[in-house]
Each structure stands twice: as C-alpha cells, then as structure tokens.
Structure 1
C-alpha cells in the first residue's frame, strides 16, 4: 500500500499519468440470488494522455474477461460473454453481471494503461452457496465412556469452516483434538468435524456449539447440542429428593408449632 502511495505521488508530477481512483466490487453475493451485480472501475487521466486501454482480469488469468481500447467498442470475453453487459463512459468502466454463479467468484483486477503509464487495482468478490444441510449430533459410546459430537455441513461453496465450542458460563471455549474432513461434489463441499470427549469431562450438563462460517463473507450459522451425563442426572435426582424431603420436614414443623400455639392459648379463654 505504501509503495502504491509513493507511485501515485510521483505519478501526479508526470504528464500523461493514469490513476485508478476507486474499484467498486461487492465483497460477497449469494449464488444466483441477485438479478444484477455491478463492478465499476473509476480512473483519472492527465489532460494530454493518449492510447487508453482498459482491461478486466479474473483470478489472475492471462486473458482479460473485458477489454476496451479507446476509440473502439468494449468487448466481453469468456466467461463473462453472454452473461453480462458493459459500458465505458467518461472515466468509468462498468460491468453488469446477471445472476452471478460460483464460477465467477474470485479476484477482479482492473488494469488501465496509456502510452506513458499504467495502473491497476484488485478486489475479491465471493459468490457463495449456503449449506443445504447443517446438523450437530451426539453419539455416546458406553463401552469407552466417551461422547462424540459430529458437526456436518453439506453443499457449501467455498470450503466452509466448522468450529466446535463448549459453553462455559458466558464464554465459548473451542474444543481441542477436533478432526475435520471434507469431500467435493463438483464445486460444492461437504464437511464434517468431530470432537470426542470423555464422560468425566462432561460431569454436569454441557452445551456444545458448532459454528459454520463461509470464508470471505459475513455468513455465520450455529447449532447447539445439550448433553446430560449420567452423573449429572444422578446428582439432579438426589438434589430433587433432598429438596422434596426438606420441604416436607419444614411443613411438618410449622404445622406442629401452629397446633401447640392454639393448645396453649385455649385455657386462657
């Protein structure tokens, strides 16, 4: 970034210098859900500049997806051909993509050049697919005294991140020794993360969370599983019996006191 600022300051002093002033690219869109998505490259030329050529590249490919040579009509090339409209007005180059899909996800680079200088700017647009299944299940193995928590998300793009937590008071503590695996179905990902805990680690009732995140987006979902250990159930039952017995004892004592009070008071009448 510092190098770019130095180049820009030096560029201002040169005749015929081109500078990209802004690149407008939405950071994240849902696959096929938007009617249109607009990409805009804004640039500034010096008064006497000439030989303008403007290109857009996708994911560092060697061939542009858009090309405009000053004095000619702009062109859309694969994979945008037939899926977008374009315009080049004044000092703005615009691409309007219709219903973007995941194959159009990635880094968009606007490259502007003249006979004298050139400039470029890059931004990422993630076209993502939310999960079709997201679940968290617990499986107890009585033989080993362990409990496994399986978090699964299927049909996601790009590859999601699954994190398992244990809720302790108001904090969420990431579980250790979590194993994760994934497989691809075309461009989509199916992912599973598993944590195995001993029953003694879950002495009381435990809340286990699984968090699903899609990188490059603000998309977050959570599932919660409640685990009741055998020891927790025994402790709960004992406490309940104790409370019930204590309540009965107090009731009997109060009743006796009331009866005695009336029997002492009666002779005075």
Structure 2
C-alpha cells in the first residue's frame, strides 16, 4: 500500500508550505488610494499607499510606478525621489516622512493629462515584497462643440456633431426630437465617426444621414467621456429644406421693410433740418 506522503504531488506540497509560510508575516499592502477620475489642471491630489511591515523585516524600499515606468523611490531614512511624469510636481507631507513604516503619500500639486494610467505601489524588504495597483483617469473638457445640418441629397439630410479638445476620446450620440439616430434603425442610411489629431488638439466627429423631415425638429448631440460622469449636450433647431425658400423670402421682405423705414426717417430728418 502506498503511503499518504507518496500520494501527494510535490506541487501540492509546495503550495501548502508557501501558504503556511506566507501567513506567518505581516508585510503587506493594506490599501491603495488613487483617485479614479480627475480633471486636468486641478490639484492637489494625494496618492496614498498604506502598508504593514513585519517587525523583524529590514531593508525597506518603497517604489511607485506609472504604466510600468518608475516614478518614485523612497529608501528611509533618505528623502523620497521622484522622476518621470511627477518630477517637480510632487510634495511629501512631513508627517509621512516621520513614519515610513506605515504609509507612503505622494501629493501631486497639479494634475496633467500625462498622469492618466495605472499606478503600482511596491514595498520590499530583504525578506518580502508586495504590490498593489489602481487606475486614474485624467480628463480634459472640450474646447468646442458644434452641431450642423446640411442636405445630403434630394431626400436625405446629414447631421453632424463635432467636438474638439476633449480627452480621452469622447463618445458622441445624435438625437432628433429625443430619439437617437446613430444607432441601428430603419429611418437612416448610414452613420460614421472619425478622429483627427493635429497639433496635440484632438477632434472627434459623428455624421448621421437620415431621411429629410417635413417639420422643424430639435437636433441634439450628447458628448460623454468614457468611464467618467462628464457629459455635455448641445442642440439646434433643424428646418426642413422645403421651408428654406419661404424663410428666405420672409427674410428678404423684412430686410426691404427695414430699408424703406430707414429711407423714410432720412427724408423726414432732412425736412426738419431745412
């Protein structure tokens, strides 16, 4: 009969030993506090890594990484060092520096768009190492948002929404009288979106071709930045192409009327002066 020891595979024994061994020390990261959504240009913002070091551990080193690139290193009792995207933008509270064995705090004076991404806090000693990660999204509001309509052919009209300057890339939706028109439906031919980048200024646009409408309608564009609560809406009133000649005639009639009034006032003024 095989003994119990022989029936257990070496890999299972290794896992059992590792589980018992890892549970005998208290070196670990307890929490990582990184704001999830931050507006570009705001601040200050704190990145906080709270950890626990076993009393018998020594050789503590704390490191922070952004998108796999190291941006911070602290080897107590020496002061922290910041590099990369946070260099010159980081401050370190005096209270944190007096107690390096419980938490690391990076206070960012100003948030920049380059700070978007995943952050990793790593603590290591001669005995153990632990790490934790969190993601921060830095968004930029739009600098301009326009909604336009123009004829596509004799029976259809093109609706266009364009947004400039927003980051990360926003999502666009077009509505006519509250009904979305850039989703699958039977009342339009096609839709397309495009993204242009020039001089570090992004531009996103959405074009939707729909069948022309017989009556004036409210056309609305909604812009949203993914993974954030940032949203903006802009609306215009669309006038069907068949109404344009009438509106043009009305405008011309009003212009003529105003011109006649101006001429009348000039004649009256001259008679008074003479």
Kindly tell me: are residues 12 and 215 of structure 1, through their superposed partners in 2, closer, same or farther at Cα, counting changes over 3 Å? farther
Residue 156 of structure 1: SS of its match in structure 2? coil
> What displacement does 1:154 show?
0.5
Query: C-alpha separation between the residues in 1 aligned to 2:86 and 2:177?
Result: 47
1:52-90 Cα shifts (integer Å, max 9, x gaps): 2111001122xx110012433221112222111124434
1:65 aligns with 2:75: no
| Superposed counterparts of 1:18-29, under 5 Å | 18-29=27-38
**1:114 — aligned with what?**
125
Match of 1:75 among 66, 75, 81: 81
Kindly tell me: are residues 11 and 21 of structure 1, through their superposed partners in 2, closer, same or farther at Cα, counting changes over 3 Å? farther
Query: C-alpha separation between the residues in 2 aligned to 1:11 and 1:193?
Result: 58
Residue 165 of structure 2: SS of its match in structure 1? strand
| Superposed counterparts of 1:1-269, under 5 Å | 10=19, 14-34=23-43, 36-61=44-69, 64-86=70-92, 87-88=96-97, 89=99, 90-141=101-152, 143-167=153-177, 172=180, 174-176=182-184, 177-199=190-212, 202-203=213-214, 205-229=216-240
> What displacement does 1:103 show?
1.7
1:151-198 Cα shifts (integer Å, max 9, x gaps): 010012222211223445xx6564343211111134431111100112
1:68-118 Cα shifts (integer Å, max 9, x gaps): 124332211122221111244341101011111112222111111222322
Question: How large is the Cα RMSD of the aligned pairs?
Answer: 2.8
1:108/1:124 contact within 8 Å kept: yes
2:151/2:241 contact within 8 Å kept: no
Kindly tell me: are residues 17 and 116 of structure 1, through their superposed partners in 2, closer, same or farther at Cα, counting changes over 3 Å? farther
TM-score by length of 2: 0.70
Query: C-alpha separation between the residues in 2 aligned to 1:117 and 1:220?
Result: 45
1:204/1:231 contact within 8 Å kept: no
Kindly tell me: are residues 186 and 124 of structure 1, through their superposed partners in 2, closer, same or farther at Cα, counting changes over 3 Å? farther
> What displacement does 1:219 show?
0.6
How many positions carry a matched residue from both structures?
218
2:164/2:203 contact within 8 Å kept: yes
Kindly tell me: are residues 129 and 175 of structure 1, through their superposed partners in 2, closer, same or farther at Cα, counting changes over 3 Å? same
Kindly tell me: are residues 33 and 71 of structure 1, through their superposed partners in 2, closer, same or farther at Cα, counting changes over 3 Å? closer
Query: C-alpha separation between the residues in 2 aligned to 1:115 and 1:14?
Result: 17
Could you list the runs of 5+ residues in structure 1 that have no partner in the other structure?
1-5, 234-269
TM-score by length of 1: 0.71
